[in-house]
């Protein structure tokens, strides 16, 4: 027997084989992963003019995949199905935006004025009310929020003049072009990336692709349905209470629903502030009750039904993702962070499929008794 085959032989202890050395090696590996991840995120932020259109195009292509797949199943050529889906999506989206703009364009100034007056009323109540909050603390908090909303972090860069126009136009053109190719050749593009893999790794790559497509598409379609229901319910409630600016407030509720947790809450606070200025504290309290009821209906009934398999994340994970996305990419990062987190979690669950067949145990051979 050789020395290393003897179980009683002790391995010599070195600074790398003892427990402290093992912990040091693992800590170094973790630090290296963090450094590499930070470098990747920094590079993506610097290339946001390309990265953001690509991410949005992936999400929209996933949402429109049932349309183009249905057209192809009915015998429509791939290029024609792509053009129908793309132009139809642009027409529907552009039509909705146009209707919203023409419906509320004359009321935005009044909305901002009412919201500002509502904040002033709330501030005066906090100063003169039973809590007796210091006026300087409120002014400092208000200034800090305003500075953040106008900072480069929130707006993903310095939004100034021709620069922002150029970025918006370039991003829109890139988005349309990338979306066209994702709709037309999405499957072929993913298969190209899977070319180096064989066997189980290839099956895993295909499984990840199907899972990501399903989760992203379900998230976008489900969020749109939830946003429409929230905006309709709150808008009807505001109209019944005869709160002014009900239509632009409903539009803000619809747009805010694409930022989970925070967006709907902020839209509800804005509606309550407008109601406070226009109709008094009683109506504002009723508006708050309506917003809470709609949010409870959404969280306990609508979301589990509409987005059952698309967004199974703990609220704490969503809040952390929203915070990180806002810091890295501003308002666009806040919108994209939750679907990215949902896809990452879905990929982690699909990495090893739970439905993989387990190896069957070989039954022991029966001994035949000789007679």
Residue 14 clears pLDDT 70, i.e. is over it: no
Residue 1 clears pLDDT 70, i.e. is over it: no
Residue 290 clears pLDDT 70, i.e. is over it: yes
Of 230-234, 254-258, 306-310, 352-356, the one with minimum mean pLDDT is 352-356
For residue 105, CA distances in Å to 112, 138, 201, 227 come to: 12, 31, 53, 21
Query: What is the reported pLDDT for 32?
Result: 92
Count up the domains in the chain and report the number.
1
Q: What is the pLDDT of residues 117-167, one digit of tens each?
A: 666 666 666 666 555 556 666 566 666 655 555 554 444 444 444 566 777
Q: How far apart are the C-alpha atoms of 74 and 83, rounded to whole Å?
A: 15
Query: What is the reported pLDDT for 156?
Result: 44
In a domain, 368, yes or no: no
Q: How far apart are the C-alpha atoms of 284 and 278, rounded to whole Å?
A: 9
Residue 12 clears pLDDT 70, i.e. is over it: no
- Binned at pLDDT 50, 70 and 90, residue 356 comes out as very low
Q: What is the pLDDT of residues 70-117, one digit of tens each?
A: 888 888 888 898 899 899 888 888 887 787 777 666 666 666 676 676
Q: How far apart are the C-alpha atoms of 10 and 317, rounded to whole Å?
A: 46
Buried b (16+ CB within 10 A) or exposed e, 39-57: eeeeebeeebeebbbbbbb
Residues 6+ apart with CB under 8 A from 78: 72, 184
Task: Say which DSSP state 226 is in.
Answer: H
In a domain, 247, yes or no: yes
Of 211-225, 325-339, 352-366, the one with minimum mean pLDDT is 352-366
Residues 6+ apart with CB under 8 A from 21: 14, 15
Token readout for 308 is 């059952």
Residue 16 clears pLDDT 70, i.e. is over it: no
Residue 64 clears pLDDT 80, i.e. is over it: yes
Q: How far apart are the C-alpha atoms of 253 and 33, rounded to whole Å?
A: 39
In a domain, 240, yes or no: yes
Residue 358 clears pLDDT 50, i.e. is over it: no
| Secondary structure E strands in 57-186 | none
Residue 370 clears pLDDT 60, i.e. is over it: no
Q: What is the dihedral of CA 237, 243, 245, 247, to 10 degrees?
A: 20
Query: What is the reported pLDDT for 186?
Result: 85
Average pLDDT over residues 189-202: 86
Query: What is the reported pLDDT for 184?
Result: 87
In a domain, 182, yes or no: yes
Q: How far apart are the C-alpha atoms of 53 and 180, rounded to whole Å?
A: 12
Q: Which domain holds residue 117?
A: 47-139+170-188+199-352
In a domain, 31, yes or no: no
Query: What is the reported pLDDT for 362?
Result: 45
DSSP string, 244-306: TTHHHHHHHHHHHTTSTTHHHHHHHHHHHHHHHHHH-HHHHHHHHHHHHHHHHHIIIIIHHHH
Average pLDDT over residues 171-192: 88
Q: What is the pLDDT of residues 302-355, one digit of tens each?
A: 776 766 555 667 777 777 878 888 787 777 777 888 888 888 888 888 777 654
Average pLDDT over residues 241-261: 81
DSSP string, 311-363: ----HHHHHHHHHHHHHHHHHHHHHHHHHHHHHHHHHHHHSS-TTSPPPPPPP
In a domain, 2, yes or no: no
Whole-structure pTM over 0.85, yes or no? no
Q: What is the pLDDT of residues 27-62, one digit of tens each?
A: 888 899 889 988 888 887 788 788 888 888 888 888
CB atoms within 10 A of CB 142: 12
In a domain, 151, yes or no: no
3-state secondary structure of 1: coil
In a domain, 10, yes or no: no
Contact assessment for residue 260 and residue 122, using Cβ atoms and an 8 Å cutoff = no
10 Å CB burial of residue 165 (0-12, 13-18, 19+) is exposed
Pick the closest to residue 112 from 276, 259, 294, 245 (CA basis): 245
């Amino acid at each position: 027997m050789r020395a290393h085959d003897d179980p009683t032989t002790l391995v010599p202890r070195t600074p790398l084989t003892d427990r402290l050395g093992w912990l040091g090696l693992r800590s170094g590996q973790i630090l290296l992963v963090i450094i590499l991840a930070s470098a990747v995120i920094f590079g993506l932020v610097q290339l946001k003019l390309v990265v953001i259109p690509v991410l949005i195009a992936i999400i929209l292509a996933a949402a429109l995949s049932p349309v183009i797949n249905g057209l192809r199943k009915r015998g429509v050529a791939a290029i024609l199905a792509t053009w129908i889906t793309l132009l139809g999506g642009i027409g529907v989206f552009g039509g909705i935006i146009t209707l919203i703009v023409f419906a509320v364009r004359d009321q935005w100034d009044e909305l901002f004025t009412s919201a500002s007056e509502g904040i002033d009323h709330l501030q005066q109540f906090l100063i003169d009310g039973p809590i007796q909050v210091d006026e300087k603390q409120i002014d400092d908090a208000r200034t800090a929020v305003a500075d953040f909303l106008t900072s480069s972090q929130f707006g993903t860069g310095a939004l100034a003049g021709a620069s922002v126009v150029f970025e918006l136009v370039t991003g829109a053109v890139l988005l349309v072009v990338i979306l066209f190719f994702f709709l037309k050749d999405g499957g072929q593009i993913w298969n190209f990336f899977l070319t180096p893999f064989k066997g189980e790794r290839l099956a895993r790559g295909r499984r990840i692709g199907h899972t990501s497509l399903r989760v992203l598409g379900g998230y976008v379609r489900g969020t749109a349905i939830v946003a429409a229901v929230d905006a309709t319910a709150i808008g009807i409630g505001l109209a019944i209470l005869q709160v002014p600016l009900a239509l632009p407030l409903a539009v803000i509720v619809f747009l805010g629903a694409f930022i989970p947790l925070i967006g709907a809450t902020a839209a509800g606070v804005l509606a309550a502030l407008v109601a406070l200025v226009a109709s008094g504290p009683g109506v504002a309290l009723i508006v708050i009750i309506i917003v809470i009821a709609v949010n409870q209906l959404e969280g306990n009934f609508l979301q589990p039904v509409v987005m059952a398999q698309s967004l199974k994340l703990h609220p704490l994970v969503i809040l952390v993702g929203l915070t990180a996305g806002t810091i890295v990419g501003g308002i666009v990062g806040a919108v994209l962070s939750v679907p990215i987190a949902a896809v990452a979690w879905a990929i982690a669950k699909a990495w090893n499929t739970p439905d993989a067949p387990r190896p069957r145990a070989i039954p022991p051979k029966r001994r035949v008794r000789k007679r």
